[in-house]
Amino acid sequence: MTTPFLNTPPTSQQFYINGDWQSPAYPATLPVVNPATEQVIAEVARGSGEDVDRAVAAARAAFPDWSATPVEARVAILGKIHGLILERKEELAQALSLEMGAAIGFARAMQVPLAAEHVRVARDVLSTYTFQKIEHGTAIQREPIGVCGLITPWNWPLYQITAKVAPAIAAGCTVVLKPSELSPLSALLFAQLVHDAGLPAGVFNLVNGSGAEVGAAMAAHPDIDLISITGSNRAGALVAQAAAPTVKRVTQELGGKSPNVLLPDADFAKAVPPGVMSAFRNVGQSCSAPTRMIVPRNRLAEVEALATATANAIIVGDPQSEATVLGPIANEAQFNRVQAMIEVGMNEGAKLVCGGPGRPEGFEQGFYTRPTVFSQVDSAMRIAQEEIFGPVLCIIAYDTVDEAVAIANDTVYGLGAHVQGQNLELARAVASRIRAGQVLLNYPAWNPMAPFGGYKRSGNGREYGVHGFEEYLEIKAIVGFE
């Protein structure tokens, strides 16, 4: 068997189904564009409903044996997958930089290692998890739900794949993965990696294609028991609608407009710069990016100065350069969206502190965007309400802590939030009042065991750690067990 990608230019016109690379039912391809050059660098196979049917059939056939595979054997394979990700980290990082413009340093330090962590965590959770407990004479048993359809986005391609695939197969499920058609190269490398780790045929299957074709076919498929999607609100709603007739479980990690509340006692010199960098991490293309910085009105000028200095120091450039902090926006459609929303902010009367429309100086091609900060933003403005998904920060002023909490909650989203303050008791109290699935106090280290997911229109269900693992399990009560 040959690896389908990493020729020059990389190409793949096959899917990974039932333990082998197979040609699509119909010969059609989708282009992969390098956002730094705007050039097509690969063509990947474009799947159809027939390809989904083959992949689901393989997963369904593999489920009885895989779900009955001893925990120790599943732990061993997850360990091999984890080891191979680390072993092939440079190849994966290069693919990520190529397909979605991630700065190579960021791909090496964050995109790949954090993806590996999801596999390690799934392995460790599985190794100690209790699948059966006896309560009042009844056995409460947790069992793998079955065949899982997994739909992943373009902004954290490998990271989101492992966040779904690892706990699913750890739980004893089999999967069909549809990676984003905009950044599919790292997914192809992952499929080969899984194969090389010795995962049995049919446990993991990959079908590339569009959401309208492959994603819709998966959501509606009667032999898929769970559909998990990370993506836009529009895509999440369409998946839920398509899944409804078959009453399958649907988990969604969707959009966000996360607040970062700086309490009056915060150390602003220490709180503002990392707040800007958190909002702009991955070129602002993170659902939980804290893109609304909510600050005391009497500190507004200080915050503006600190934010400007931080944003202006960010190196935007060629993602292959070691010095680059932010590469380009990942695709043309998103680049156009970010540019349009910067214009909206200016037209709405927000104060443009730094950045603005257009490419940074010296760039005539590539989807590069100027790190942009708006101040004097009103919570009713579109730039304060709509997910921009780019390096655009809104600074919103408040007069009281109660008002700060109200502004933080003034959104249809509820994925993540940040609170900064030296009085930890007050920071905790504010965190408990924010309607979001995860609140971070004073920029803590990333915790892969902490459940992640949304309130309101940010979705339902949780990922990461034990809670993410349990999304792939059903609960059975055996009454009269004792």
Q: What CATH number is given to the structural domain containing 96?
A: 3.40.605.10
Same domain, 215 and 190: yes
Q: Which helix (H) or strand (E) holds 388?
A: none
Query: Would residue 321 count as lying in a domain?
Result: yes
Chain-centre distance of CA 437, in angstroms? Answer: 15
Mean per-residue pLDDT of the chain: 96
Q: What is the DSSP letter of 477?
A: E
Residue 184 in 3-state DSSP? coil
pLDDT reading at 7 higher than 80:
no
pLDDT reading at 77 higher than 60:
yes
Bond from prior residue into 9 cis (ω within 30 degrees of 0): yes
Judge whether 177 and 13 are in contact, CB under 8 Å.
no
**What sign does the CA torsion over 212, 217, 220, 226 have?**
negative
Average pLDDT value for residue range 449-455: 97
Same domain, 283 and 147: no
Same domain, 57 and 174: yes
Same domain, 245 and 335: no
Query: What is the count of structural domains for the chain?
Result: 2
**pLDDT for the residue numbered 437:** 98
Query: Would residue 200 count as lying in a domain?
Result: yes
Alpha helices in 266-414 (DSSP H): 268-280, 300-312, 332-348, 382-385, 401-408
**pLDDT for the residue numbered 10:** 44
**pLDDT for the residue numbered 11:** 46
Judge whether 440 and 450 are in contact, CB under 8 Å.
no
Average pLDDT value for residue range 188-192: 96
Active site residue 50: no
| 205 CB neighbour count, 10 Å cutoff | 30
Give the orientation angle of helix 89-100 with respect to helix 71-87, to 10 degrees: 70
pLDDT reading at 3 higher than 80:
no
Active site residue 148: no
Q: Residue 24 sits in which domain range?
A: 15-254+458-478
Same domain, 462 and 352: no
pLDDT classification of 13: cutoffs 50, 70, 90:
confident
Cα–Cα distance between 384 and 386 in angstroms, integer? 6
The whole-model pTM stands at: 0.96
Q: What's the residue count for the chain?
A: 482
Average pLDDT value for residue range 168-172: 98
The one catalytic residue in 99, 253, 387, 471 is 253
**pLDDT for the residue numbered 90:** 97
Cα–Cα distance between 299 and 295 in angstroms, integer? 7
Judge whether 299 and 268 are in contact, CB under 8 Å.
yes
pLDDT tens sequence across 400-423? 999 999 999 999 999 999 999 999
Alpha helices in 140-213 (DSSP H): 157-170, 185-196
Percent share of the chain, pLDDT over 90: 97
Judge whether 472 and 173 are in contact, CB under 8 Å.
yes
Query: Would residue 4 count as lying in a domain?
Result: no
Query: Would residue 9 count as lying in a domain?
Result: no
Same domain, 227 and 286: no
Same domain, 152 and 283: no
Q: How far apart are the first and last CA of the chain?
A: 51
Same domain, 287 and 180: no
Same domain, 174 and 263: no
**pLDDT for the residue numbered 6:** 47
pLDDT tens sequence across 303-337? 999 999 999 999 999 999 999 999 999 999 999 99
pLDDT reading at 170 higher than 60:
yes
pLDDT tens sequence across 97-124? 999 999 999 999 999 999 999 999 999 9
Q: Domain of 300: which CATH number?
A: 3.40.309.10
The one catalytic residue in 148, 173, 287, 394 is 287
Strand order through the sheet with 372-375: 351-354, 372-375, 392-398, 292-296, 259-262, 416-420, 438-441
Cα–Cα distance between 415 and 454 in angstroms, integer? 4
pLDDT classification of 453: cutoffs 50, 70, 90:
very high
Query: Would residue 229 count as lying in a domain?
Result: yes
Query: Would residue 442 count as lying in a domain?
Result: yes
Average pLDDT value for residue range 227-240: 95
